[in-house]
């Protein structure tokens, strides 16, 4: 039984960091090249007392209000985040209470990064297909900027904070998520790390220091190698060619990486959606943010075939094929 993404809403912090602001704060940085290399002009930055939890609740409320979804329609909450406000209690439980959802609702946190949205779609499909839930609230929320060291040029220029909320339910006949392709390679875990962000950092002594690290060249090579393989495998399983896909929506890492993959795969620009100029790299939220933009712009219409693919920390990847 297929599931469909019925609706998507989002919440962004009010505070922003523009390329001009970065230039003023760091006059020795070559910020004139930032937009050209990353495709990013603006990032939303969470406030000192603003965490993934607050953004998640805001996105959830907007989803219920904008799309006229009754709290009683939600049977399960999936909260995808690598930057929870608390290790205990479970963030999904706090979201349930804040949104006034039924106490019969299940609630689960998923610690997953840039592949998290598609991975959680797969979990939502299992909940619906098994009959355990009719409506699933899928929330992504991260405040990665709190983990970035002020002097880190590579991450400060690309990372942004955001939350999204999607309502997942059983699909109408002939539409919905058709198939998934996913994988993990823990040997590449060192490529993206933040070791002091959990209990290790809390219990190892000394003042906390942001230590979000990314091996840019290593991640770039991983993406150029793995993403084409995954998409080819997904299409082959379903008897499709690349030309059969109306729109590809990748994790919005940065413009240079996305364009490199697009060119390598020979995907036409009009079938490849990029939407990160005013948000930056928002981890698991980047795909639903971009997908929501594509829907609002009329780039995705009923009956279109859409491929989503996330990739990142773990290393992990997850892709899906959707009949919209």
Instruction: Please tell me the predicted confidence (pLDDT) of residue 33.
Output: 80
The torsion angles phi and psi of 262, rounded to 5 degrees, stand at -60, -45
Active site (annotated) includes residue 320: no
Percent over 70 (pLDDT), the chain: 99
User: Taking residues 163-186, what's their average pLDDT?
Assistant: 94
- 108, 142, 174 - which closes a domain: 174
Instruction: Please tell me the predicted confidence (pLDDT) of residue 108.
Output: 97
Percent over 90 (pLDDT), the chain: 86
pLDDT in tens, 81-130: 999 999 999 999 999 999 999 999 999 999 999 999 999 999 999 999 99
User: Taking residues 40-54, what's their average pLDDT?
Assistant: 97
pLDDT in tens, 223-269: 999 999 999 999 999 999 999 999 999 999 999 999 999 999 999 99
CATH number at residue 72: 3.40.47.10
Same domain, 136 and 192: no
Instruction: Please tell me the predicted confidence (pLDDT) of residue 204.
Output: 77
User: Taking residues 188-196, what's their average pLDDT?
Assistant: 92
Domain with 307 in it = 177-323
Same domain, 119 and 74: yes
User: Taking residues 274-299, what's their average pLDDT?
Assistant: 97
**pLDDT over 90 at 155, yes or no:** yes
Same domain, 318 and 181: yes
User: Taking residues 280-289, what's their average pLDDT?
Assistant: 98
Instruction: Please tell me the predicted confidence (pLDDT) of residue 1.
Output: 63
Active site (annotated) includes residue 256: no
Instruction: Please tell me the predicted confidence (pLDDT) of residue 253.
Output: 95
Same domain, 142 and 214: no
**pLDDT over 80 at 298, yes or no:** yes
Q: Which of 123, 158, 217, 187 is nearest to 315 (CA)?
A: 187
Same domain, 124 and 167: yes
CA dihedral angle for residue 30, residue 311, residue 218, residue 194, rounded to 10 degrees: 80
Beta bridge mates, 18? 42
Give the chain's mean pLDDT: 94
Catalytic residue, from 19, 44, 114, 254: name it: 114
Overall pTM surpassing 0.75 (yes/no) = yes
Instruction: Please tell me the predicted confidence (pLDDT) of residue 37.
Output: 85
pLDDT in tens, 18-36: 999 998 888 887 777 888 8
- How far is the CA of 145 from the CAs of 55, 92, 141, in angstroms? 14, 21, 12
Q: Both tokens of residue 50? A: 């603003």
Structurally, how many domains does the chain consist of? 2
Map the chain to HEC letters.
Answer: CCEEEEEEEEECCCCEEEHHHHHHHCCCCCHHHHHHHHCCCEEECCCCCCCHHHHHHHHHHHHHHHCCCCHHHCCEEEEECCCCCCCCCCHHHHHHHHCCCCCCCEEEEECCCCCHHHHHHHHHHHHHHCCCCCEEEEEEEECHHHHCCCCCHHHHCCECCEEEEEEEEECCCCCEEEEEEEEECHHHHHHEECHHHCHHHHHCCCCCCCCCEECHHHHHHHHHHHHHHHHHHHHHHCCCCHHHCCEEEECCCCHHHHHHHHHHHCCCHHHEECCCCCCCECHHHHHHHHHHHHHHCCCCCCCCEEEEEEEECCCEEEEEEEEC
Same domain, 203 and 306: yes
Active site (annotated) includes residue 93: no
């Amino acid at each position: 039984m297929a599931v469909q993404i019925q609706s998507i809403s989002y919440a962004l912090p009010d505070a922003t960091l523009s390329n001009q602001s970065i230039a003023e704060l760091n006059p020795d940085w070559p910020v004139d090249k930032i937009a050209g290399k990353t495709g990013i002009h603006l990032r939303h930055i969470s406030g000192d007392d603003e965490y993934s939890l607050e953004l998640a609740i805001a996105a959830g409320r907007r989803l219920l209000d904008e799309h006229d979804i009754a709290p009683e329609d939600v049977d399960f909450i999936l909260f995808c985040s690598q930057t929870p406000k608390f290790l205990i209690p479970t963030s999904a439980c706090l979201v349930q209470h804040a949104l006034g959802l039924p106490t019969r609702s299940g609630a689960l946190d998923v610690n997953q990064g840039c592949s998290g949205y598609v991975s959680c779609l797969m979990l939502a499909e299992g909940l619906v297909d098994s009959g355990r839930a009719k409506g699933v609230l899928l929330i992504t929320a991260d405040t990665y900027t709190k983990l970035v060291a002020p002097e880190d040029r590579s991450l400060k220029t690309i990372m942004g904070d955001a939350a999204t909320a999607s309502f997942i339910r059983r699909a109408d006949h002939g539409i919905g998520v058709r198939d998934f392709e996913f994988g993990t390679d823990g040997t590449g875990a060192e490529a993206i790390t933040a070791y002091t962000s959990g209990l290790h950092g809390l219990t190892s002594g000394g003042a906390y220091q942001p230590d979000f690290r990314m091996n840019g060249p290593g991640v770039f090579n991983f993406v150029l190698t793995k993403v084409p393989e995954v998409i080819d495998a997904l299409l082959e399983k379903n008897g499709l060619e690349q030309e059969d896909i109306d729109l590809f929506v990748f994790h919005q890492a940065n413009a240079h990486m996305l364009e490199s993959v697009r060119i390598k795969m020979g995907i036409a620009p009009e079938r490849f959606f990029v939407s990160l100029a005013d948000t930056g790299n928002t981890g698991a939220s980047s795909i639903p943010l971009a997908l929501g933009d594509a829907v609002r712009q009329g780039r995705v219409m009923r009956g279109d075939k859409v491929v989503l693919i996330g990739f990142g920390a773990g290393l992990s990847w997850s892709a899906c094929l959707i009949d919209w």
